[in-house]
Amino acid sequence: MQPKLFFDTQKQKSRISAIIKKYGYGPEHNFYHYQALQEHDTKNIFVEFSKGMSILAQKDGRERWWTLDEVLAPEEKRLEVFLDFAEFAFKKDKAWKIVTETTPEFRRKLIKNLKNKYKIPKVRYSLYWPVFSLKQWNPKLEGKNWKKIRNLRNRLYKSHTIKIVDSRKVKKEKLIQLVMDWKKKRAYRDRVFLDRYLNMINAGFKSCNYCRTILVDGKPASISAGWKIPNSNDIYSSVGILNYSYDGIGEVAYVDELNFLKRNGYNEANFGGSDDAMLRFKRKFKPSRIYRTDIYAIINKNYKKRK
């Protein structure tokens, strides 16, 4: 099945948003987030099949396709749509590879269907996604298991003047400086995502249902932001940025965010894909479940570099 390709995704906002509203289910199924991910030479190309079933895709200057979250389609059609996309990318477009992120279960299905046609190397790396039941979350942090976090919170509030505001009320240049300070202290893989955060700030957090900043003595020290996951009453915490200048700022930001989301009546909060180090930090807040996604490539064995 040959898809329709839409290269100017901003012009197709209404079309793409309607498809996300109809078929969306993943934490990154969000139009403005999709727009913010255009970085360097990677450009959005919306790939649409019959009945609006689609893939939020990108392509770079090295003949590589990238996919964002999983297929926008009914569950029973997602594998079929991805297989059609692979056939298009490798046979019609003559691309070199597809880089994708899926659950391990979906990867096994792709291997079963594609192993005789294309090369699927080992997983590059995996991310772990902690999900919090907000109905079970206790804002009071009662009991001995929460003592360390209570102490960190109390010391921060005692030593500094703390105010929590909507991030849109903070000057953009101050938030951008916060992101640059964060960048200096993060691992390389995190730093390469810098543009998407700057894009989000410059766009006024259009993608977000909420965005919160902790001011410590009047200066921004954190950004927490996210959006509702389509076709659910769940929320995705997409942004968690800290300046690491104050002991306990990370814990206070997470507690504030979980309290805020509980007050606003969401069922679950997905706190984003994490490497081992970040997952250890997020485990402090006792997620109700954790799932895994794998990042890997599918390679066209017959690829010939274009002149």
Contact, 227 vs 33, CB < 8 A?
yes
Which CATH number covers residue 189? 3.40.630.30
Indicate if 120 and 145 belong to the same structural domain: no
32 lies in some domain:
yes
Per-residue model confidence (pLDDT) at position 62: 87
Same domain, 283 and 142: yes
Could you tell me the end-to-end alpha-carbon distance of the chain, in angstroms, rounded to an integer?
28
Mean pLDDT for the chain?
A: 94
**Residue 95: pLDDT over 90:** yes
Q: Dig out the tokens for 256 from the structure.
A: 């504030």
286: Cα within 13 Å, side-chain hemisphere: 11
Q: Are residues 118 and 160 in the same domain?
A: no
Question: What's the token pair of residue 71?
Answer: 């297929």
| Average pLDDT of span 138-148 | 95
Q: What is the mean pLDDT of residues 233-255?
A: 95
Residues 278, 144: one domain? Answer: yes
The strand pair at 64-67 and 268-270 is best described as unpaired
Q: Where are the alpha helices (DSSP H) in 1-146?
A: 13-23, 31-36, 78-87, 104-114
- What share of the chain in percent tops pLDDT 70? 98
- 290, 129 contact by CB (below 8 A): yes
Query: Is 306 part of a structural domain of the chain?
Result: no
Residues 117 and 154 both lie in one domain = no
Model pLDDT, residue 172: 97
150-164 pLDDT, tens digit each: 999 999 999 999 999
Domain count, the chain: 2
pTM, to two decimals: 0.93
Do 145 and 256 belong to one domain?
Answer: yes
Q: What is the mean pLDDT of residues 48-76?
A: 96
Q: Are residues 34 and 113 in the same domain?
A: yes
In a domain, 183, yes or no: yes
Decide if 304 is inside a domain. no
pLDDT class of 189 with cuts at 50, 70, 90 = low
Phi then psi for residue 290, to 5 deg, are -140, 130
- Mean pLDDT: which of 34-43, 188-197, 224-233 is highest? 224-233
Provide mean pLDDT across the span 118-138.
97
The residues pairing with 210 across neighbouring beta strands, listed in sequence order, are 226
Rg of the chain, C-alpha, whole Å: 21
Residue span of the structural domain in which 40 resides: 4-126+293-299
Residues 67 and 194 reside in one and the same domain: no
Establish if 132 belongs to a structural domain. no
Instruction: Say if residue 143 is in the same domain as residue 52.
Output: no
The answer on 93 and 67 residing in a single domain is: yes
Residues 159 and 236 in one domain: yes
**In this structure, are 39 and 157 located in the same domain?**
no
